[in-house]
Amino acid sequence: GPVTLIFEKSKEIPDSVTAGLKSVAVRFPSHRVAQELIRLSGVPIAAPSANLSGRPSPTMEEHVIEDMDERASCTILSGSTVFGLESTIIDLSRGRPSLLRPGPVDPDQLKGVLPDLLVPDFVSGRKEYLGDPMSPGLKYRHYSPDIPLILVEGETGMVVAKVGIVAGRKKSLVLCSEEMKDYYPVQVKKVVLGSRDNLLEVASNLFKELRNKENMEYSQIIAEPFPETGVGLAIMNRLRKAAWKIERT
């Protein structure tokens, strides 16, 4: 689902559901197959995410099979995810609503119903989260592919120059936008995530390409930055969390 809400848990919620935490995360999925599973069950379902900690999250059914092989007795095949990114997480357990993880529903949309929503500095991924880990991806490197990911940030012209320098050191693949692909060295493999004018497209392709086995044949992945407007905040959060190194120009 696009949004996860964290509440203070009631005594009816067993500790095994919340891993001993005093809070509980609630989400209603947007995917029709997950909705039907809940309907047929007739009860709320408590379950972990179908991804391994630290890795790029699965966005296609084959990703789930790859991660959960021999860990799950049954896999329901239901195609690809709607958004390509994990849900937006909002903490409602401690007074003022606070954004913990950006996702498909961006802060401007949320403020339409939660006008006093707090958006902490750590949400961008630039600063470290220092509190208790109430949700995945708040601490440590997360979402990392099997080969090093280098994120290059800065002014457009400087980014292009820096990508050329970094790509010259090793066999490299560049994750880029449609608008920027022709500015990078000809000899470097480019994977276009989408247009900078359609960040939902970029978001839907990000984890898919970070898991693409053909991309893992390279020595390193270099990613250009994207605008941090709308879902772009979530895209940059994931790239910064996944990065082995961030080069700022």
Q: Is 196 annotated as a binding residue?
A: no
H-state helical runs in the chain: 15-18, 32-41, 61-68, 107-110, 156-167, 199-211, 232-242
Cβ distance 223 to 159 under 8 Å? no
Bridge partners for 24 per DSSP: 7
| 3-state SS assignment for residue 220 | strand
Q: Taking the CA of residue 70 as centre, how many other CA atoms within 13 Å lie in the half-sphere pointing to its CB?
A: 0
Which residues are CB-contacts of 243 (< 8 A; sequence separation ≥ 6)? 141, 149, 150, 151, 223
Give the H/E segment covering residue 180: none
Q: Is 57 annotated as a binding residue?
A: yes
Bridge partners for 246 per DSSP: 151
Q: Is 27 annotated as a binding residue?
A: yes
d(CA 77, CA 140): 31
Q: Which residues are annotated as a binding site for L-threonine?
A: 27, 47, 87
Q: Which residues are annotated as a binding site?
A: 27, 47, 49, 57, 87, 101, 143
Q: Which residues are annotated as a binding site for ATP?
A: 49, 57, 101, 143
